[in-house]
Amino acid sequence: MTQDELKALVGQAALAYVVPGELVGVGTGSTVNHFIDALATMTPRVAGAVSSSHASTARLHAHGIRVLEATEVQRLPVYVDGADEIDGHGFMIKGGGAALTREKIVADLADRFVCIADASKRVEVLGQFPLPVEVIAMAAHQLERRFAALGATATLRRRADGAVQLTDNGHPLLDVQGLRITDPLAMETEINQWPGVVTVGLFARHRASLCLLGTPEGVQTLVF
Ligand code: 5RP
């Protein structure tokens, strides 16, 4: 099976965790795109979705699914999203799609975080994937120096045309290479304290409750 077929498999499998007639939190990325397509086929349908990015909102709307603002909602039964890496405790690196801040906000509303990922995302120790950090622009160089003091290298993310990539919130992102994250909770707490950090793409406080992992043998359910 291709990686995309594995993503489609888990996108479909996540429907089992969505409550018909209720709201669902929707993440961002190529795996979530499969989930959104599957959600459109669900009967009875969900009452609506809270989306974590303009891209997911557009896809939900294209399927005729109602999208509510996070500010209109107090609680979601479930949030479904992908990950760039997930470890054996459900701790994740996220933000490869630049949606980390809104993803954490929507995840915070949810009772359960269902992570959907192909098997390549499952790692023993987080950090091989460059850690995304959304930052306030004027702090970028100071934050680069802070990461350098940890022995890591932070680089401003750029688009294919060379321009600095901005998130849906209008902020740049640093991608941090060279971290070996053995204590995700401690590192998330530490980086969150640095002035100018909007969101670190470590999801430790908002780790997955379960992960549907797409493998050539089928969907493996990891419960944390
Ligand atoms: C977006 C994310 C995505 O969940 C993560 O990048 C995985 O994406 P994909 O499903 O395309 O592999 O965190 O900000």
Domain ranges of the chain: 3-123+205-223, 131-198
Closest listed residue to residue 77, CA positions, set 42, 48, 112, 52? 112
> Does ligand 1 have an atom closer than 6 angstroms to the CB of 84?
yes
Looking at the structure, give the CATH architecture of the domain made up of residues 3-123+205-223: 3-Layer(aba) Sandwich (3.40)
> Which residue out of 22, 69, 85, 103 is catalytically annotated?
103
Domain 131-198 -> CATH class: alpha beta
**Please, are residues 181 and 127 in contact by the beta-carbon 8 Å criterion?**
yes
Task: Give, for ligand 1, the residue of 2, 7, 31 to mutate: max count of ligand atoms closer than 8 Å to Cβ.
Answer: 31
Edge-to-edge order in the sheet of strand 173-177: 153-156, 173-177, 131-135, 197-200
- Ligand 1 centroid from CA 58, angstroms: 16
pLDDT truncated to tens, each residue of the chain (224 aa)? 999 999 999 999 999 999 999 999 999 999 999 999 999 999 999 999 999 999 999 999 999 999 999 999 999 999 999 999 999 999 999 999 999 999 999 999 999 999 999 999 999 999 999 999 999 999 999 999 999 999 999 999 999 999 999 999 999 999 999 999 999 999 999 999 999 999 999 999 999 999 999 999 999 999 99
Active site residue 22: no
- Ligand 1 centroid from CA 201, angstroms: 11
125 DSSP assignment? S
